[in-house]
Amino acid sequence: MKLISFMMNVDKNLKRIEFLDKGNYKKGTILGEDNKEFWVTYTHYRVNSKRYRLGFSIVDLSDKDYEVYILDSEKEPINKLTSISGKGIKIFYDSNDNNDPDVGSNASGVFYVGVFENGERIYVSPPIYVLPSSLSYGDYLEMINDLIQINEHLIEDNKSKVFLAGKGVQNLVEIGKTLDDMKKVLEKINANPAASLKAIPAKIKYDPKKAISPKILVEKKMYPFKNKFKGQMKVESVDIYENKIIKYLLNLLKKKIELYIQSLNNYKEQKKREIDIIREQNKKEIDFDSELGKIEKKLIDIKEDIKTIIKNNRSLENIDKDKDIKISFDIYKKASIPKSRVNGKIEDNKVILYCNFITKRENRFISLERSFYSYAVSPFENFQQSRFNAESFMLKFETSNLNELVFFIDEVIEREDFKNPIKIKALAKREYYDNNDPLCVRVMKNYTYGDGSPVKEYYINIKKIYSLNNKKVPEYSEEEIVEKLAPYLNDNYESIVENKRFLELYKKKEDNLSCYDDKINELKKAKSRLDEILNLDLFKEVKEEKLILKPTQIFTNDNNYKKIWQYFNALNKKIYFIHDFIDSNMLLNEKSYLIKSTHEIYEYWTFFKMIDVLISELKWRLKNKNEVLNNLNKYMQWDYFQGNLKAKLEHDLKNNEKIDLVIYFNKNIKSNDGKILRPDFTFEFRKDNRNCIVYLDAKYRNYREQGKEQWFKDIKDVAIDKYTKKFRDTENEPIASFIVHPDTNNEWTFYGGYLDDKLEKKFDMEGIPPEHKFGIFAFTPNNIQYFKNFIKMILEYHLELYNYCWNCGEIDNIEIKVEKTMGGFNKYHYTCKSCGEFWVKNHCEKEGHSLIKHLFNYHTPDTDKKYPWYVKCPRCGKNDNGENTTVFEELCEFPTFDPNIL
């Protein structure tokens, strides 16, 4: 009997069979007759829009009724293959996937095929290695291992992940030292181990002087001339419980360290992938390291120029009694003075500051408050009152006394008190020949007030500040002066600082990659120490056996064994490798876990992995851990498994508040036409009695192979039409609907941030802003960043939880600095003191819509900008206010003068 393997396509009516020509095989595919050491193929091939899957046929098949099964790694049957006959051939295939009309085996992993006759196995195929078509085989194995590790993380409440992520190299060094100490004690035990007498079969020489068993006495009487008899003798054996449990725990520790090494390598790859994604978004191909150096130099130059003025300042009052006048006036600041309207420069060892005071009235900007209409002036004698007949008001402050300038910025420009007047007493330059109105620059022709007085323009050129709000000028430190003035001496200063922070964050992420190498090296050293310990003669004589750790007389009373007990206890507190739940036979790459449908395992892995990421990366708490853990174990062990799963999570917020999240798998939901739909994953967020729903559907795709049109189709047909429009105007209407898939190329991830004309037509969204309501992203064991970004988008953009770090889940230890944008909006700079993440909450330049900028963004990057963290608004499509533009002039343009305003 021979078995033949091939890739085949059978129509859904089972009337046509088509075999894939070998010319279409990928490199490395090995199929055909069973005279090969093994077969290798992929879950499917897609050629000319047809999908081909694995099938089998028996050569020289007799009329007997054979049964064909897929076998696991132990060659035990898992599921029976279905047969179909046609044109003198009988084909066997896997029909278990009822949701997929394509015929053939959809199992990934390593398995065998067995032929049975009357219940007896009569044939076993070579091993069959089936690689997943839509993700790398390495990622597939990682998916299997991930499920094992997630199981362990849940058991341990993620202590092992916390250990790897948070404790750093020092804890690993301490583990190495503990193993060194343990090795010294075990070498002493090796020289003089605890042992017991053990009876073993032996030939016993007859000696009447020694105790003789009754059996030997009987044999001696029967055979008087025989001197050696079969019996038992007692010998000393080290194969006792204490030595066996030590060996077992050492192997358990070694496996845990190997798991940690693999986990850290995976974690490093995830972080490296995040850096690669940022590089891919860097369309201008900027050298970030070089750019950071340029920015740092620019900031240093600005600050050094200020320091030079401080150093050379002689505090001389350059007063010209013929041209200078003392003035006293009030400003009513009913709106903030944006820094964009304050321009500074350094000239002739002085700082010159220009300001326009702007206020709001009925959503219009005017340059002078209605209440501000007079000033007092004195040519160094008595003060006299002069009226401001002003519609335009410019102030210039020119000084080498930087204390006065800082004082002016604090008390006037950055003042937050809008109700009370700001009282200014200063020395100013005379601008007009009229002694009654010396600050007037010009009279505006053809404009008068109601009382017939002319409208004028004013220019206040201040040379010295005497007092502000009756407070004298204080002394500031050099550092205070530099930090206060620097932002006013460069139009793009805030953008420069912001860009610097993002570049520093990028560099930090790059530098942090090396710390994973340090941890991995320490773990490898620990593994080497364990190998040396397990090589001791003692453990060569001790059998492998799984045991439960328990105290004994030897562990209690023998000093060396007591120390080993204490060392294990100390190590377990650091590395968490001893508990009743870990099955030591659950090894990585365990083949019995590999025989699962690739579609099925991707969906279930996605469910459990999302929970794991939320807990371990973002500090969510799992409220129904036992239920989730029980379902995970059932799935992994082929027990009866109910697919309707749910995970209940919660996260702390500020002021003792919480946000709840329930994730459902395959939940039945009624659409607006009364039909039942079942998204793969339903997220239900609840905060302050507000429920928000997000749908996520898994698609096992290889878009590089299946093409852009399939990508468009999945987004439109599923994310938009099926799970958005079908729930519109119902209680189940989502705030977002997305697709998750395993193709990690950045091209196939889209968060619904911006639609160009082509995308608007493809998605039938002409004139409708996307607002992150639909999209698609990749999710694999080595690429969790897109999912974290998806969660960040939901929590920040949709739920408006801005003041939290959704990179690590920190809620309290976050620094917030408030700046002003070009349009006078608040801009918030956030720095997480826990993980170092930096992000900015800003507004778009057109409508003031909220934008949140990260180094790795869910908003669509603006490719016209220099840096990838400048983004487009998902509501109006315009860019953010990060760079200095002239848009403010358009937004805040002073209206044509209307005398009736005053």
Q: What's the pLDDT at 586? A: 35
CB 93 within 8 A of CB 103: yes
CB 594 within 8 A of CB 195: no
* pTM across the whole model: 0.73
Regarding whether 658 and 513 lie in a shared domain, the answer is no
pLDDT band at 887 (very low <50, low <70, confident <90, very high): very low
Q: Is residue 845 part of a domain?
A: yes
Q: What pLDDT, in 10s, does the model give residues 416-438?
A: 776 777 888 888 888 776 777 78
Regarding whether 339 and 278 lie in a shared domain, the answer is no
Q: What pLDDT, in 10s, does the model give residues 356-366?
A: 654 333 333 33
For the ranges 287-296, 364-373, 826-835, the lowest mean pLDDT is seen at 364-373
Q: What's the pLDDT at 20? A: 92
DSSP state of 617: T
- What is the rounded CA–CA span in Å between residue 771 and residue 759? 14
Q: Which of 113, 128, 116 is nearest to 75 (CA)?
A: 113
Q: Which domain-ending residue is among 731, 766, 801?
A: 801
Q: What pLDDT, in 10s, does the model give residues 147-198?
A: 877 887 787 665 555 445 544 445 677 888 889 999 999 999 999 998 876 6
Q: What's the pLDDT at 810? A: 95
Contacts (Cβ under 8 Å, ≥6 apart) of 355: 337, 341, 342, 394, 395, 396, 397, 413
pLDDT band at 95 (very low <50, low <70, confident <90, very high): low
Regarding whether 876 and 772 lie in a shared domain, the answer is no
The DSSP element (H or E) to which 444 belongs, if any, is strand 440-448
pLDDT band at 316 (very low <50, low <70, confident <90, very high): low
pLDDT band at 486 (very low <50, low <70, confident <90, very high): confident
- How many distinct helices (H) and strands (E) make up the chain? 19, 40
- When mean pLDDT is compared over 105-119, 509-523, 571-585, the highest value belongs to 509-523
Q: Is residue 498 part of a domain?
A: no
Q: Which domain-ending residue is among 544, 575, 606?
A: 575
Find tokens 């105290």 and name the residue: 551
Q: Percent of the chain beyond pLDDT 70?
A: 78
Q: Which domain-ending residue is among 778, 801, 824?
A: 801
Q: Is residue 570 part of a domain?
A: yes
Q: What's the pLDDT at 140? A: 73
- What is the rounded CA–CA span in Å between residue 657 and residue 653? 5
pLDDT higher than threshold 90 for residue 136: no
Q: What's the pLDDT at 12? A: 66
Q: Is residue 586 part of a domain?
A: no
Tally of domains within the chain = 5
Which has more pLDDT, 6 or 863? 6
Regarding whether 352 and 342 lie in a shared domain, the answer is yes
Please state the three-class secondary structure of 642-696 as a single string: CCCEEEEEEEECHHHCEEEEEEEECCCEECCCCCEECCCEEEEEEECCEEEEEEE
Regarding whether 818 and 689 lie in a shared domain, the answer is no
For the ranges 101-115, 288-302, 520-534, 638-652, the lowest mean pLDDT is seen at 101-115
Q: Please report, for residues 5, 91, 519, the alpha-carbon distance to residue 85 in angstroms, rounded to integers and kept in the order given.
A: 16, 6, 58
Mean pLDDT of the chain: 80
Q: What's the pLDDT at 557? A: 87
Contacts (Cβ under 8 Å, ≥6 apart) of 645: 607, 628, 631, 664, 665, 666
Regarding whether 54 and 25 lie in a shared domain, the answer is yes
Contacts (Cβ under 8 Å, ≥6 apart) of 892: 341, 358, 365, 823, 824
- What is the rounded CA–CA span in Å between residue 337 and residue 847? 20
Q: What's the pLDDT at 301? A: 85
Regarding whether 700 and 571 lie in a shared domain, the answer is no
Regarding whether 752 and 640 lie in a shared domain, the answer is yes
Regarding whether 743 and 621 lie in a shared domain, the answer is yes
Q: What's the pLDDT at 791? A: 98
Regarding whether 656 and 739 lie in a shared domain, the answer is yes
Q: What's the pLDDT at 852? A: 94
Contacts (Cβ under 8 Å, ≥6 apart) of 695: 679, 681, 682, 683, 719, 723, 724, 734, 736, 737, 738
- What is the rounded CA–CA span in Å between residue 630 and residue 166? 28
Which has more pLDDT, 896 or 869? 869
pLDDT higher than threshold 70 for residue 340: no
CB 442 within 8 A of CB 391: no
Regarding whether 761 and 624 lie in a shared domain, the answer is yes
Regarding whether 808 and 681 lie in a shared domain, the answer is no
Q: Is residue 312 part of a domain?
A: no
pLDDT higher than threshold 60 for residue 391: no
CB 72 within 8 A of CB 591: yes
- The range of the structural domain enclosing residue 262 comes to 159-192+241-282+509-575
Q: What's the pLDDT at 368? A: 36
Q: Is residue 673 part of a domain?
A: yes
DSSP state of 806: T
Tell me the average pLDDT across 549-577: 85
Q: Is residue 292 part of a domain?
A: no
Q: Is residue 232 part of a domain?
A: no
Q: Is 256 helix (H, G, I), strand (E, B) or coil?
A: helix
Which has more pLDDT, 641 or 363? 641
Q: What's the pLDDT at 552? A: 86
